[in-house]
A and B are shown apart, each in its own frame.
Chain A
Amino acid sequence: MTHVILSNLTKSFPGNPVAAVNTMNLDIPSGQLVAFLGPSGCGKTTTLKMIAGLITPTVGDITFDGASVLAVPPEKRGAVMVFQNYLLFPYMSVGQNVGFGLKMRGVEPKVIDRKVIEMLDLVKLPNIANRRPRQLSGGQQQRVALARALITEPKVLLLDEPLSNLDAHLRDEMRELILSIQRNLGVTMIFVTHDQEEAVLLANQIALIFDGVLQQYAAPDVFYRQPISERAARFFGGINFVPATRRGERLETAFGAFHVRTPGVENAPEGEVTLTIRPEQVVLNPADDENCTSGRIRSRIYVGTYTRYKIMIGDIEIEATRSGDIDHALNEGDAVRVGFPADRIWVVGRS
């Protein structure tokens, strides 16, 4: 149970004028599961390694429960990393791997053996202590790596891309396991990922990082409803962007005026902005005429559980999705009414 605060955290590497991590401020309350999300090279792993103590920040501070840990070496910090490729020591048995941290602390072998069994039970891999790492599947190796980290009772658990090396069905299993461990032990967990799906699946809070700069720090659903920028929206799968001029509730676009009444929009930019709406929120042939315009269906793609429509409104393309079966009333080339619900529209600054 540790409250982690990053203040003005900055890291520049010699010979590189652009800071890898730039003045990052982040408050991670005790027992949270936070994702650092961003494309590769955005500085998320550097930040993680700074929290672990493996990289020294150029500027700024890191505190655990209010006390700075910058002077604490990694081996004493209690921030344990689980690497993406698991890194089980190939020359040790599974049990020796899990017990490694306690051995380093000089714990009695008997106690270590007992704790190792406890930990392997916790990650639901009983009776494999005597096996060699290479005899395990990827998913099993991941669990052993998790057990090896947890045995030291870390203050903060740091995970590098915890789900990305796993098959789809193993991802669900591992997700359940991580969430249940987090619930039971209440340990503060931070993980980095480049995959927004992985972040949304696991995290309570997501810190979106581009080019070493923190963009937005919020609960997962906020990134879908209220992205901070066009780039953030695109990162979460947004594709509809229309230039607009905003005055209060009113949005002027090339194909007509719309009202916007989404909660929180009062803090969004005014003037020259970009209107955005998620494809699943676009309504085709709506019942009432508010916030409505006309277009023509350019293509219809059936994807099984839903159908994707590309609609031309003037020379702007808008994508809309509809769940359920194909609607044979909407065909390629047909004219269609397109509704943007006033409480689903969002605006971001013009980029």
Chain B
Amino acid sequence: MIGERWRIPLMLAPTLIIIVVLFFGSLGYGFLQSLGWQPNIGNTTFSLDAYATVLFSPEYREQFWSGLWLTIWVSLASTFISAALALMSALLLRQTFIGKKIATFLFQLNLPVPHLVIAIGMIFLFSQSGLAARAAAQLGMISTPNEFPVMLRDAGGVGIILAYLWKEVPFFGIVLLAILQSVGEDYEDLARSLGANRWQRFRHVILPLVMPGLLSSSIIVFAFTFGTYEVPKLLGVRFPEMLPVMALEFFLNPDLNARAEGMALSMIIAAITLLIVVAYMWAGNRAVQR
């Protein structure tokens, strides 16, 4: 019989070993490497050179800062726009109507479809010879493919944002539908009988009720869009370049010194996402204590 004392640690051990060794261990190892500690090529001293190079050197600083702003812009825009569109869709889809089952199924179809595939779908849809351009040509709005606006591989990251919208609207949508369903319509009925009109019911009842769920899923979406690689690699441009793509390029550079810079960049990405999450939890705690 195993002692009570060791039961819970033993139950947790297999999972924790995986997480601690593979995740935290690698994170720590990456951090050491970003400080220039690379014993295999004889560097055993620590320095902040890699960070300085990425952030301030004339060679890379423009690339880094433009990439940082692009990454922040793309993540924020994707998160906010998809949350807003999903809220609208969820308010429609929660109603009772003929064909609701089919509509809900189609709405959720993209949930298990990987981001990579959606990104390819964007190429098929929005490239200058894609389905949208063909539709525009059929309608006589453009005469040659070049007249169709450049939406993919553009400096503003429009193509990347579009791909995220297609993925994250259903994601936010399923979360919101679940919340709306569990809350029911009684609060709205009550507010209505107390004199709240349609807009007031949205503003003072629905929005505050879904807000906690919306915020926590926003964190998931923001963190994901901030750190993912495939979508910006397929739909982005070389300059400005999203940070995860830049980090991998540094890392895969045959020059082993560039490796430290790639590590530094990935640490910066992790730090920014962690910062956002901590800020959110702090704000959330304050809201609870109020």
Contacts and interface: CB of A to CB of B under 8 A. Distances in A.
B194 A83 contact: no
Interface residues of B, number: 17
- Among A74, A76, A80, A83, the one with the most B-chain Cβ atoms within 10 Å of its Cβ is A74
A75 B197 contact: yes
Nearest to B211: A91
Given A91-B208, A91-B209, A76 B195 contact: yes
Interface centre among B189, B195, B204, B211 (most CB of A within 10 A): B195
A163 interface: no
Contact of A75 (B195, B205, B208): B195
A212 interface: no
A72 to B, nearest CB: 12
A152 B195 contact: yes
A75 B190 contact: no
A31 B210 CA distance: 39
Contact of A152 (B194, B197, B200): B194
Contact of B194 (A49, A85, A100): A100
- Determine the main DSSP class of A at the interface with B: mixed
Given A89-B208, A91-B209, A75 B196 contact: yes
B100 interface: no
B187 A75 contact: no
The bracket for how many chain A residues form the interface is 20 to 34
Nearest to A79: B193
B192 interface: yes
Contacts of A53: 192-193
A79 B190 CA distance: 11
Nearest to B185: A54
B194 A54 contact: no
B222 to A, nearest CB: 23
A105 B187 contact: no
B277 interface: no
B186 interface: yes
Given A87-B186, A100-B204, A81 B193 contact: yes
B248 interface: no
B268 interface: no
B55 interface: no
Q: Which 3 A-B pairs have the closest CB atoms?
A: A101-B194, A91-B208, A104-B195
Interface of A: 49, 52-54, 73-77, 79-81, 83, 85, 87, 89, 91-92, 100-101, 103-105, 148-149, 152, 158
Interface of B: 186-187, 189-197, 200, 204-205, 208-209, 211
8 contacts: A54-B189, A74-B193, A75-B192, A100-B191, A100-B204, A104-B200, A105-B195, A152-B194
